[in-house]
Amino acid sequence: MLTGQETVREILNLSPQAKSVLHKYGITLESADHFGYKNLAHAALTLKIPLRKILDDLSAATGERVAEIKVKGVQNTAGKSAVRKGGLENIKRIIAVHSGKGGVGKTFVAVNLAAFLAKKGMKIGLLDADVDCPNVLHILKAEGKLVANQKKMIVPLEKFGMKIVSMAPLLNSEDEALLWRGPIVSRVLEQFLYDVDWGDLDVLVVDLPPGTSDIPLTLYHMLPRAEVLLVTTPHQLGLLDAKKAAAMAKKLNVKILGIIENMGGEIFGKETSKEAAKKLGIPFLGSIPMHTAYAQIDHEGRPQVFSSLELEEIYENVRKKTGL
């Protein structure tokens, strides 16, 4: 008989079916550790998912019966409860790097922007908010587990003078993230913003997944003061997608800092986005060429801006144009 008072470990050990139900809700052994879930009901409460729903899913998957929920000290979490909004006053600016299309170089731009600003002596946080493909830690060769401190806040990892948080350490396997949807990703993003001990930051750079999915929506909803940096390729289709991302930000009243063109050069052209940016009334912040060296990760995971004068100059211009 399932009651919700079982620990996450107990449920995970029940059967592979039970395990996949919990993973669908983003409840893993790692997340239980990090967020200190006392039992399944506590996890449901934290994630603001109705406990009844999880128990019913578990019951359908395992054949176990479900008890009437009367968990002492923990309320049934059925019913709506909004994500947190606003706040984070210790963080001066929040810059979300976004694009309508995948693979245009958002992560490349975000990581190098954060690294460049950190090298300039600013206090920088980098949040990898790409649930489907969190690759920031891989690129920076940053290792370590996310642990909670005495304030029950997540301690960010640190590398190259940046405080870094990624969803990657919470995932058991690369496939798992694909199961996280809708409200769950929103909750996870909420925790990664509000339950992290960021300390004082000049800028928090957020690497978003592509497209107009739940993650950018939730971010803009929670923090309307976030500013968006759009990345596009000079390619026509890339520009169309940039328009979509720009339209989303505009609709939600989020300020668009500007467009950075990436992968400029002989293949896609160069500065073709400049005209499009002008038409959209969005500042054009610069064009980063396509360069084999920019696609490479060295053995220490050093961001490319540390070894390329060209990139340094481009980012210095971006800094000036955006008042950073």
Ligand X SMILES: Nc1ncnc2c1ncn2[C@@H]1O[C@H](COP(=O)(O)OP(=O)(O)OP(=O)(O)O)[C@@H](O)[C@H]1O
> Where on the chain is the footprint of Mg ion (CB under 5 A)?
106-107
CA distances from 29 to 13, 19, 119, 296, 316 (A): 10, 10, 36, 33, 43
Q: What is the smallest separation between the CB atom of 130 and Mg ion, expressed in angstroms? A: 5
Which region among 48-56, 62-70, 275-283, 289-297 touches ligand X (by CB under 6 A)?
289-297
Q: Is 105 in the site for ligand X (CB under 6 A)?
A: yes
Which region among 32-40, 65-73, 233-241, 290-298 touches ligand X (by CB under 6 A)?
290-298
Which region among 15-23, 61-69, 239-247, 286-294 touches ligand X (by CB under 6 A)?
286-294
CA distance 142 to 80: 37
**How far does CA 40 lie from the centroid of its chain?**
25
Residue from 140, 153, 114 nearest 36 by CA: 153
Q: Is 116 in the site for ligand X (CB under 6 A)?
A: no
Q: Is 107 in the site for ligand X (CB under 6 A)?
A: yes
CA distance 303 to 294: 9
Q: What is the smallest separation between the CB atom of 198 and Mg ion, expressed in angstroms? A: 21
| Largest distance between two CA atoms of the chain | 66
CA distance 43 to 77: 10
Q: What is the smallest separation between the CB atom of 242 and ligand X, expressed in angstroms? A: 12
Q: What is the smallest separation between the CB atom of 131 and Mg ion, expressed in angstroms? A: 11
Q: Is 108 in the site for ligand X (CB under 6 A)?
A: yes
Q: Which of 36, 103, 144, 199 binds ligand X (CB under 6 A)?
A: 103
Residue from 169, 136, 222 nearest 35 by CA: 169
CA distance 244 to 224: 18
Q: What is the smallest separation between the CB atom of 291 and Mg ion, expressed in angstroms? A: 18
Size of the site for ligand X (CB under 6 A): 19
Burial 157-166 (b: 16+ CB within 10 A, else e): bebbebbbbb
Q: Which is nearer to ligand X, 209 or 234 (CB)?
A: 209
Q: Which is nearer to ligand X, 20 or 213 (CB)?
A: 213
